[in-house]
């Protein structure tokens, strides 16, 4: 999930950079909020990225624990 969050943040940053030279024209036509929306999208992506990092870390930990538990239960019982 982390690559998707990074891609989303990157797209918002690219959109903001594209709109940056046109901010006066956008503001003049009543669309000046788009630059702020793109910046807000990039900033709101950071907590999403952090959430995905924690989620992936916990998923790896759960998977390792399940593999370890299955290894213990699959071992033949001692006579």
Residue-wise pLDDT for 24-73, tens only, equals 998 999 988 999 999 999 999 999 999 999 999 998 888 888 887 776 65
Three-class SS state of 78: coil
Distances (CA, A) of 27 to 2, 33, 36, 54: 34, 8, 11, 39
CA atoms within 13 A on the CB side of 47: 4
pTM of this prediction exceeds 0.85: no
The per-residue pLDDT for 74 is 55
Rounded CA separation 40/14 (Å): 13
Please tell me which residue, 77 or 27, carries the higher pLDDT value: 27
* Residue among 50, 45, 56, 55 at smallest CA distance from 10: 45
Residues 35, 19 contacting (CB under 8 angstroms): yes
The per-residue pLDDT for 66 is 83
**What is the Rg, in whole angstroms, of the alpha carbon atoms belonging to the chain?**
23
């Amino acid at each position: 999930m982390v690559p998707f969050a990074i891609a989303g943040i990157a797209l918002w940053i690219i959109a903001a950079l594209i709109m940056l030279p046109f901010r006066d024209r956008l503001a003049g036509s009543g669309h000046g909020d788009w630059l702020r929306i793109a910046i807000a999208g990039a900033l709101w992506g950071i907590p999403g990225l952090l959430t995905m990092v924690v989620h992936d870390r916990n998923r790896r930990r759960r998977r390792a624990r399940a593999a370890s538990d299955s290894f213990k239960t699959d071992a033949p019982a001692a006579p």
